[in-house]
């Protein structure tokens, strides 16, 4: 891979699988990738590039789960793999502590879907059927008020994500639910 070529979706998965074994993290990578692709279609972005970015965004998290190491360690790995700087910057921008401006549509979307994707899947998994088809926007918003539910999800990032996109939270949640629902079978929800 050269420094000017974004990885294909298959190449992104190769990198993720090399550094991630945890099934929940792999599910998260898939969900974020799918949401990035859906927003690329909506906003006129490059579907494959955005999906690859979503897949890769947390590839180093299993081995580097702290703000001191997550993303920072991954940047070096991605540079060594020949990933272009534009993609590295995009991936790094999803972490608030990296202080990288989210000045592209893809960076805004990555930030907006990261925490929400996991929260939506958590909402599905507590339904009797464990299916996204039973999840409604009102239920998601109600669960967001429950501090003990999916406690590792940063609610502020969900609110800020919709704000960064410039759309109402309900609309953002509905869009993401619908996008994931289209892939519910492959996501197992």
pLDDT, one tens digit per residue, over 99-142 is 999 999 999 999 999 999 999 999 999 999 999 999 999 999 99
Q: Tell me what the mean pLDDT of segment 24-52 comes to.
A: 98
Q: Under a CB-based contact definition with an 8 Å cutoff, are residues 135 and 127 in contact?
A: yes
- Confidence label for 1 from pLDDT (cuts 50, 70 and 90): very low
163-187 per-position pLDDT tens digit = 999 999 999 999 999 999 999 999 9
Q: Tell me what the mean pLDDT of segment 12-20 comes to.
A: 97
Counting Cβ atoms within 10 Å, is residue 76 exposed (0-12), middle (13-18) or buried (19+)?
Answer: exposed
Q: How far apart are CA 178 and CA 140, in angstroms?
A: 13
Reading the block at residue 8, the tokens are 């294909």
68-92 per-position pLDDT tens digit = 999 999 999 999 999 999 999 999 9
Reading the block at residue 160, the tokens are 């800020």
Which phi and psi angles does 104 have, rounded to 5°? -125, 155
Buried b (16+ CB within 10 A) or exposed e, 97-133: eeebebeebbbbbbbbbbbbbbbbbbbbeeeeeeebe
What are the structural domains, with CATH classification, of the chain? 9-187 (1.10.3210)
Q: Under a CB-based contact definition with an 8 Å cutoff, are residues 30 and 189 in contact?
A: no
Q: Tell me what the mean pLDDT of segment 47-69 comes to.
A: 96
Which phi and psi angles does 127 have, rounded to 5°? -75, 150
Q: How far apart are CA 112 and CA 49, in angstroms?
A: 17
Q: Is the pLDDT of residue 152 over 90?
A: yes
């Amino acid at each position: 891979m050269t420094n000017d070529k974004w990885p294909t979706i298959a190449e992104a998965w190769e990198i993720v699988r090399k550094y991630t074994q945890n099934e929940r993290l792999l599910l998260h990578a898939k969900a974020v990738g799918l949401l990035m692709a859906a927003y690329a279609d909506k906003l006129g972005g490059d579907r494959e590039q955005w999906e690859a970015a979503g897949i890769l965004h947390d590839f180093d998290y299993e081995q580097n789960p702290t703000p001191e190491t997550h993303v920072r360690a991954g940047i070096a790995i991605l540079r060594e793999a020949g990933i272009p700087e534009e993609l590295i910057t995009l991936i790094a921008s999803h972490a608030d502590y990296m202080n990288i401006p989210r000045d592209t549509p893809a960076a805004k979307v990555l930030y907006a879907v990261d925490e929400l994707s996991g929260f939506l899947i958590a909402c599905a998994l507590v339904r009797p059927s464990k299916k996204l088809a039973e999840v409604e926007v009102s239920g998601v918003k109600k669960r967001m008020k429950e501090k003990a539910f999916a406690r590792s999800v940063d609610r502020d990032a969900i609110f800020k994500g919709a704000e960064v996109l410039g759309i109402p939270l309900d609309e953002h949640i509905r869009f993401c639910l619908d996008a994931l629902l289209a892939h519910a079978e492959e996501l197992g929800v």
